[in-house]
């Protein structure tokens, strides 16, 4: 892979060299590879087909989980979030000790491996919100909640420059990877000032199906605002907002 330089940027294939645009800029690479028919049928590519099947399963699972939290992700995500999540779902699938290679799946894998995943690598929850919190999932009642004791915002939040206020957000999701469906619920705090005033205790509660046997996911995040003439504006279009999976229950 080579980076294109110069004023004129190319897009297409010329003389066996493919020119294209990616999130890393304009690149070029030599055209090549193995024919698709051979990969699909040649016994020597059995491992490749198995890896491809599981990778595709991981990509589909990641898309479903992102859809479940789409409302929150509109303000919190980095350009490589999709690929990072797919890579983590591959690890979840590879932890499946029930099915043969190529047939492994999320349900029989270890969904708990996703716990701690940050949706925005530029604004990680662990380096943004230092206030202690407790995350819990109650399968019997279907309650997924985050409890945050009182804290002083200016001391416990690493806020980006220019921000004057913040809001804590949470959501819970019950995801059925087999039927490709989900149930989700979200909640948020009031918009609070980034000052030395101690907050009240906060409980962000989300409810999904009671007694569910499906994987359950709980996220916690923080969004930053700037107050201008009495109105709140999302700071830099959410570039530094944080959101992370703080609790996961596979079954």
Distance CA 83, CA 23 (A): 12
Which of 21 and 113 is assigned the larger pLDDT?
113
pLDDT at 130 over 70: yes
Can you tell me the mean pLDDT for 121-132? 95
Which of 13 and 143 is assigned the larger pLDDT?
143
pLDDT score, position 14: 61
pTM score of the predicted model: 0.84
Task: Return the minimum-mean-pLDDT range out of 35-44, 164-173, 180-189, 219-228.
Answer: 35-44
pLDDT at 20 over 70: no
Can you tell me the mean pLDDT for 34-43? 56
């Amino acid at each position: 892979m080579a980076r294109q330089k110069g004023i004129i940027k190319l897009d297409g294939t010329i003389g066996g060299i493919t020119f294209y645009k990616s999130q890393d800029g304009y690149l070029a690479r030599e055209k090549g590879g193995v024919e698709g028919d051979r990969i699909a049928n040649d016994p020597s590519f059995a491992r490749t087909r198995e890896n491809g099947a599981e990778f595709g399963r991981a990509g589909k699972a990641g898309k479903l989980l992102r859809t479940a939290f789409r409302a929150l992700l509109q303000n919190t995500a980095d350009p490589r979030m999709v690929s990072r999540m797919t890579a983590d779902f591959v690890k979840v699938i590879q932890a499946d000790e029930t099915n043969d290679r190529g047939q492994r799946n999320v349900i029989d894998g270890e969904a708990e491996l996703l716990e701690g995943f940050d949706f925005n690598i530029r604004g990680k929850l662990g380096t943004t919100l230092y206030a202690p919190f407790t995350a819990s999932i109650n399968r019997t009642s279907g309650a997924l909640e985050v409890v945050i004791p009182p804290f002083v915002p200016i001391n416990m939040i690493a806020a980006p420059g220019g921000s004057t206020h913040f809001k804590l957000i949470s959501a819970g999701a019950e995801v059925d990877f087999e039927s490709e469906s989900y149930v989700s619920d979200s909640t948020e705090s009031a918009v609070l000032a980034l000052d030395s005033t101690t907050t009240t205790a906060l409980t962000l509660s989300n409810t999904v199906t009671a007694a569910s046997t499906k994987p359950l996911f709980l996220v916690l995040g923080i969004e930053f605002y700037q107050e201008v003439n009495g109105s709140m504006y999302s700071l830099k279009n959410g570039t530094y907002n944080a959101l992370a999976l703080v609790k996961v229950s596979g079954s």
